[in-house]
Amino acid sequence: MVLVPTIGVLALQGDVREHMRALGACGVRTLAVRRPAELERVDGLVIPGGESTTMWKLARTFELLDPLRKRIEGGMPAYGSCAGMIMLADRILDGVEGQETIGGIDMLVRRNAFGRQVDSFESDVTLGGLETLGGPGAAEPAAPLRAVFIRAPWVESVGADVEVLGRAETGFAAGRIVAVRQGRLMATAFHPELTGDFRVHRYFADLVRGVTTPRVEQED
């Protein structure tokens, strides 16, 4: 027998397989979440990049939006990348009429702030907290993370309880907030699952391990 946390990936739309591969490399079990019953089986959840309006509408169709809100309110750890950041925001700018979010992070996020698909780019981002992933007593600060921005949002403002983990470092958006954490919730404007650098996923997996009693599973 082995104690292993299960981290789900919201599998309504977006880069689901990439997140599941990254999480698998971090030593956790993964589960694609499309139904409320699957949501109940996970200890934490990743909300992937994709299209936030499509994700919201499909969550309504699959009767997942309210269960997602209840699990978040109940303390389930969650991480959102790009569109997932929008879904975890309490407030959004430039959304479509009537657009809803899951909420949970006290922030105002601007949808598609970095531009259209053709404006996608890569940039180094230094994230606070990643230096702890070397284990206790890690001597070296973490190297910058190569961040992929695809029709990405940015964070306009945060509440007092939100920790800013990273900001854009170059270009017209230099200084804009692109990574945050509030308690058991975290979000990035970029796609760490696309780079092969899984430090963000390890950070989240460690968060899930630290705040959740893992389920007992049979060892494969």
Active-site annotation, residues = 82, 191, 193
Phi, psi of 22 (to 5 degrees): -65, -45
Distant-in-sequence, close-in-space partners of 124: CB < 8 Å, separation ≥ 6: 144, 145, 146, 147, 169, 170
Beta strand extents in the chain (DSSP E only): 2-4, 6-10, 29-33, 44-47, 78-81, 89-93, 105-110, 121-125, 145-149, 154-158, 163-167, 177-182, 185-188, 215-217
Do 180 and 163 meet the contact criterion of CB atoms below 8 Å apart?
yes
Per-residue DSSP letter, 200? H
Q: What gap in Å lies between CA 81 and CA 47, rounded to an integer?
A: 7
Q: What gap in Å lies between CA 196 and CA 180, rounded to an integer?
A: 21
